[in-house]
Structure 1
Amino acid sequence: MADTPEELDTWVAELASELGIDVTEVPTGALLDLTRDVAHGVTRPAGPLTTFLVGMATARGTDIDAAIATAQSLVERRTA
């Protein structure tokens, strides 16, 4: 398996379809940026867990952009 942007897009589209999620609602770039920032600024295992928590918040009604911004703000405060 090669790590290409096309393969990532294919994976996201396939998984979103299987989960019944509209792929246009998945801010892939923002989530990857957040995961990277958390992994480097907090601890590596916190990256995917943060993404999961953002997803949980979104499922409970929080706007996805607001959830990402909240997490990003916390990372910035912790790494300042």
Structure 2
Amino acid sequence: MTVMDDWLTAACAELDLDASEVPVSAVLDVARDVAHQVLRPGAPVSAYLLGLAVGRGADPAAAAARISALAGSWPVELDGTTEAT
């Protein structure tokens, strides 16, 4: 097992969740996309938003793809000015 596996198992047990239902790769991809294309502090907030959406019935893969697509289309700030990507 990896540290991620150990953490996921422990955190899920603490929250009474099934670790097998956690799309780890999708969550990490969303966090990466937001951190690199929007802003770093947006990564954990976006992961939380993804969790809220899934908790309300959204398909995990579809919701993650939508957030990643939004991050990919987010305007890039250069020297205080904003440019579309």
Instruction: Give the TM-score normalised by the residue count of structure 1.
Output: 0.86
Offset at 1:42? 0.2
Between structure 1 and structure 2, the one with the greater Rg is: 2
Give distance in 2, aligned partners of 1:21 and 1:58: 13
Larger fraction in helix: 1
Give distance in 2, aligned partners of 1:72 and 1:7: 25
Letter in structure 1 aligned against 2:31: T
State the SS of the aligned residue for 1:52: helix
Specify the alignment match of 2:65 in structure 1.
Answer: 69
Offset at 1:71? 0.3
The residue correspondences of 1:54-65 to structure 2 (distance < 5 A) are: 54-65=50-61
Letter in structure 2 aligned against 1:60: R
Instruction: Give the TM-score normalised by the residue count of structure 2.
Output: 0.82
Specify the alignment match of 1:8 in structure 2.
Answer: 4
2:45 to 49, 60, 66: 49
Give distance in 2, aligned partners of 1:29 and 1:60: 20
Q: Which runs of 5+ in 1 are unaligned?
A: none
1:35 aligns with 2:52: no
Larger fraction in strand: 2
- Give every structure 1 segment of 4 or more consecutive aligned residues whose post-TM-superposition deviation is greater than 3 Å: none
RMSD value over aligned CA atoms?
Answer: 1.4
Letter in structure 1 aligned against 2:32: R
Percent identity over the alignment is 39
